[in-house]
Amino acid sequence: MKNIKIITIVGARPQFIKAAVVSRAIISFNSRHRLSTDNQQLITEIIIHTGQHYDQNMSVVFFREMQIPEPAYNLDINGLDHGAMTGQMLEKIEQVLLKEKPDLVLVYGDTNSTLAGALAAKKLHIKVAHVEAGLRSFNLNMPEEINRILVDRISDILFCPTETAVNNLKKEGYPNIINHESRTTNHQLIVNVGDVMYDAVLFYEKNAIQSELEVDLKKTPFILVTLHRAENTDDSKRLKSIFDAFIEISGDMPVILPLHPRTRKKLQLLEHNYLDIIPKTLCLIPPVSYLEMIWLLKNCRLIMTDSGGLQKEAFFFKKPCITLREETEWIELVENKYNFIAGYESSDIILNYQKIKNIQFNFSKKPYGKGNAGELIVEHIYRYFGLLILSKYNK
């Protein structure tokens, strides 16, 4: 039986979490299907870390907490503008692909690392699979939106997390291909496998770690907040407006905010250093590990964020979410009234908080699959190359 060689490209913390799910699924797949005669692995994975969002805590998360193989290549590309970063990644990834000669390049999400990896592979006529395909915020001012649209267009396999994502691709004129039998050489394969982040939550929930904070969060209802997107942090008016809301809301319920380094720097540049006027009820803490974040998600009352991933994780942990943006990719959460779009105006953020803080929500909907997205991705990849009938995971 043929061995499939996969290059996985990651560069940002959310991608590490998603890649961990699929890496574990590859290991499990090999264990279940390995030939007893020669112990041959059916799938070989090589991980490239571009270095896009590298820091020491990220390294710890990747190796210790995520329980996945160490990257074979670390390109150490970070701290550059979009064009320079993407260009350097494209050049260095191409060198690795020429050396390793993989059958498939696997990319995740919407980062510069994802775009560079997909471009490098496609120009070398290597197949590309995109995990989290079909997401759309319909805001082309977001670099992430540009990246995901371009990567979808050139990918050979599009692994969608929801039916909404599949429908987005159909509306854009993608071929209506959702099974292997109808696939031809030039067609893309579009599959709804569910969301790998749901897999991750189910796997790592039992390993949650409580952060060491002055506040006893087990006894105190609190709001979990994150804020990092450039559209909010780079605009001083928006940043001030959002933090004004945090300050007022924290007077009613404590707010825990793991502060992104870029956000901290932007706060210090405001006319009045906001770090000097933050009340104790708005608790700014250093960035936390993934397992610490899981603990905070499990124990908070509600979530406010401009992160796409955290909006979903709020739902997975049955917590309402106020989104500090004017749009979201996760439209099914808005439609089912789990997620509330507040934007950046203080009054709108406060109004949404007052509206939902005492509501008991019913989280019975299941828009993100069964928690087996990783297994489905691996088996669809193997079947794509004409080598295996899908197993029980697709039943």
Catalytic residues: 228
Contact indicator for 40, 139 with CB cutoff of 8 Å: no
Three-state secondary-structure class, residue 160:
strand
- Single-letter code of the amino acid located at 60: V
Nearest to 152 by CA among 132, 137, 167, 123: 132
Please give the DSSP secondary-structure letter assigned to residue 61. I
The answer for residues whose C-beta is within 8 angstroms of residue 77's C-beta and 6 or more apart is: 11, 50, 51, 52, 85, 88, 89, 92
**Of the candidates 215, 384, 222, 189, the residue with the CA atom closest to the CA atom of residue 296:** 222
Measured at the CA of 49, the angle between CA 112 and CA 142, to 5 degrees, comes to: 20
Q: What is the DSSP letter of 297?
A: H
- d(CA 358, CA 329) in angstroms, rounded, equals 26
DSSP 2: P
